[in-house]
Amino acid sequence: MKILCIQDGHNASASLMINGEIILALQEERFNEIKNYTGYPYESVQYCLNFLKKEKLNLDLAGIASTFKNPYGDKIKMFNNFKPSDFKNWWKTKINFNYFVTKIGQKANFVKNKKRDKSTIKYLKEIRNKYKNKFEHYDYKFLNDNIINKPHLEIELFKNERLRKFSSHIGLSKDKIEFIDHHTCHAFYGYYSSNLNGKDCIISTIDGGGDGYKQTTWSVKNKKLKLLSRNNSCPLGKYWKIICVLLSLKPMEHEYKIMGLAPYAKKKYTDEVVREFKGLCEIKKYDILEKKLSNKSLSLYEFLEKKLSNYRFDAISGGIQKFTEDLVVKYITKILKKTKHKNFVGSGGLYMNVKMNKMISEIDILKNIFISGSAGDESLSIGACYFLNKGRKSLPLKNLYLGFKEEKIDIKKISMKFRLKEIKNFDPIIKELESGKIIGMYNGRTEFGARSLGNRSILARPDLKDTVKNINEAVKNRDFWMPFAISILKKHHKKFISNKKSLESPHMTLGFDTVKKNLKYIVSGTHPYDGTVRPQILEKNFNINYYKLIEKFYKKTKIPALLNTSLNLHGKPMVNNIKQALYTLSNSKLDCLIINYKYIVKKK
Ligand SMILES: [Fe+2]
């Protein structure tokens, strides 16, 4: 069974499954270099089609993640084009208010459809043609004045257009293409891709919203997934988006910066902000629900703007992080007790928060937690494949090296512009690392998701404090308060990382405390203020060459880890192809680039 699915919203992607195994998963941003690209993932789909053609295979089924989407948000590509302040105007309008769906999530609920007010219509007319996008694959001509006050019609017409485009591109008839509910995709990705696939557990999905829901809770018993509850009320995703804007950051992109800033806040001020949030929502049965605001005349944005206006940026960051951690831990503890489950899977944008995941992992009654790589919307296309494969065996992901691979690298051409040396073993790479050099690693397939896992990485020894400053100045120009991460060999990791439950974290999705006496050996890959770490705990079969490289580094230095951050220039998506990798080398102070463990490339 060959299944191709797409996510055509925020951080668009395409994934290919063959006989229950995910073979390819690609993000469109890597091809078009627009971070978190929103829209039809043309190049990613084409890459899958080329693969099928080469293997002489035909598609059986296809799927589109998310049944209903707001066409205005997609046309203007708000998450690519908006400045933080633009979101304030968007949220003030009533564009989205009637995008409710029926209980089974399949049909737009026209009964609840309401007319838009004059100011919303004026705003839509102003912005619908405002942005010139570099890449546009959908035809939005249906968004005209005739339907500007018929929101239920515009989502149906957009649905038709999405189906038309995908069907004609892949050459599969429309009846073999299914739309799949947003949170169902999150849940199926979280469960089937993980090492808990096949085991009893709870699945929780929480995000900023999709197909009319913001939270779902599932129970898995005897390999059967049962939806316990879902709601459109859970406000956590909204809080984070609003706070991004209040701190002049980009929502759906910079939330991790708030998480990174949180540990710097003093407890007193953190607690004060937490108190401001208390009472805004409550846990009821399986749901986190928003309560009515005390001042009904204000929007949630205006309400929080007013409430938080006297707090500093660090206190707000610390407060929202602590409030989120406490609330989610309380909710998960409650559902674990209620269902008597001991295992937990989280999926959806909120579960990108590694610090929150750390707190969940420390719940006493929880035995095992698994958060798959990049639990945000980019992984919806993988979840959609798992959904369409239901009734047949679906395999967990072996690793995340599922992206683009350069078929042929023209070494001769590279040697004309760069100093190039062929290497027979790891020794020359170790020599560079040992001497404190910052190296770029380009190997095989690109990793799927937000984290570099050794194939498109910047590596350095993790025990030198200056490394953070050096990398920031040499390549990344990233925010001074943000931590880097490490890759560490599983067999030695407990000497450096506190992991009492022996949890697996191959995709850098869990935070851990460090073993204080050994912190100095991995210090530049930990949070500079609280010493926590977001490690890739590496097993041999995950990435054999990368494993051997770190093993060799360990033999020389007694440190079984390397600092690992993504190979990209500031503001650009992670490097995809060799051309982008060489561009990164040329336009940074990287000391060298390793290609497929065979060549060391340096600037002339
Ligand atoms: Fe989502």
pLDDT for the residue numbered 96: 62
Nearest to residue 38, comparing CAs of 11, 5, 14, 65?
11
Q: Quickly state the pLDDT bin for 590 (edges 50, 70, 90).
A: very high
**Does residue 398 belong to any structural domain of this protein?**
no
Q: Per the domain annotation, does 383 fall within a domain?
A: no
Rounded to the nearest angstrom, the distance between the alpha carbon of 291 and the centre of ligand 1 is: 22
Over pLDDT 90: what percentage of the chain?
A: 81
CA of 99 to the centre of ligand 1 (A): 15
Q: What is the mean pLDDT of residues 332-344?
A: 97
Cα-to-centroid distance, 484 and ligand 1 (Å) = 26
Q: What is the pLDDT of residue 106?
A: 43
Give the rounded percent of residues in the chain with a pLDDT score beyond 70.
Answer: 97
Statement to judge: residues 181 and 201 lie in one domain? no
Q: Is residue 145 part of a domain?
A: yes
What is the 240 CA–ligand 1 centroid distance (Å)? Answer: 14
State yes or no: pLDDT of 244 exceeds 90.
Answer: yes
Is residue 147 located within the same domain as residue 279? no
Extract the tokens encoding 8. Answer: 């055509």
Rounded Cα distance between 122 and 290, Å, is 30
Domain match, 16 and 160 both = yes
Do the domain assignments include residue 86?
A: no
Domain extent for 40: 2-81+109-185
- The mean per-residue pLDDT over the stretch 309-334 comes to 97
Q: Do 270 and 138 reside in the same domain of the chain?
A: no
Kindly report which listed range (18-32, 95-109, 216-230) carries the lowest average pLDDT score. 95-109
Looking at the structure, tell me whether residues 124 and 207 fall in a common domain.
no
Same domain, 159 and 203: no
- Whether 396 is in a domain gets the answer no
Q: In what order do the strands lie in the sheet with 368-370?
A: 224-231, 213-221, 201-210, 343-347, 368-370
Based on the fold, state whether residues 299 and 255 are members of the same structural domain. yes
Q: 175 and 210: one domain? A: no
CATH number at residue 510: 3.90.870.20
**Is the pTM value of this prediction over 0.75?**
yes
CA 565 to centroid of ligand 1, rounded, Å: 25
**Which chain residues have CB less than 5 Å from ligand 1, an ion?**
207, 210, 377
DSSP string, 289-334: EEPPPSSTTS-HHHHHHHHTTTS-HHHHHHHHHHHHHHHHHHHHHH
131 CB contacts (<8 Å, ≥6 apart)? 76, 77, 81
Query: In angstroms, what is the span from residue 526 Cα to ligand 1's centroid?
Result: 28
**206 in the same domain as 343:** yes
CA 183 to ligand 1 centroid distance, Å: 7
Clarify whether residues 58 and 161 are in a common domain: yes
Say whether both 351 and 289 belong to one domain.
Answer: yes
| Residues 172 and 202 occupy one common structural domain | no
Domain count, the chain: 3
Q: What is the CATH number of the domain that holds 258?
A: 3.30.420.40
For residue 79, pLDDT beyond 60? yes
What is the model's pLDDT at position 107? Answer: 47
User: How far does the centroid of ligand 1 lie from the alpha carbon of residue 141, in Å?
Assistant: 27
The H or E element containing residue 47 is helix 42-54
Residue 561 lies in a domain: yes
Residue 58 belongs to some domain of the structure:
yes
* Mean pLDDT over the full length of the chain: 93
If you measure from the C-alpha of residue 376 to the centroid of ligand 1, how many angstroms do you get, rounded to a whole number? 6
pLDDT tens digits for 520-535? 999 999 999 999 999 9
Mean pLDDT of 13-26: 98
pLDDT over threshold 90, residue 466: no
Least reliable range by pLDDT among 13-22, 129-138, 313-322: 129-138
User: Which of the listed residues 128, 155, 185 is the one where a domain comes to its end?
Assistant: 185
The neighbouring-strand residues paired with 231 are 215
What's the CA-to-centroid distance between 523 and ligand 1, angstroms?
Answer: 33
- The pLDDT of residue 114 is 62
Instruction: Among 185, 206, 235, identify where a domain stops.
Output: 185
Q: If you measure from the C-alpha of residue 155 to the centroid of ligand 1, how many angstroms do you get, rounded to a whole number?
A: 18
Domain boundary among 185, 218, 246: 185
Ligand 1 center–CA 349 separation, angstroms: 6
- Note the pLDDT tens digit of each residue in 553-583: 999 999 999 999 999 998 899 999 999 999 9
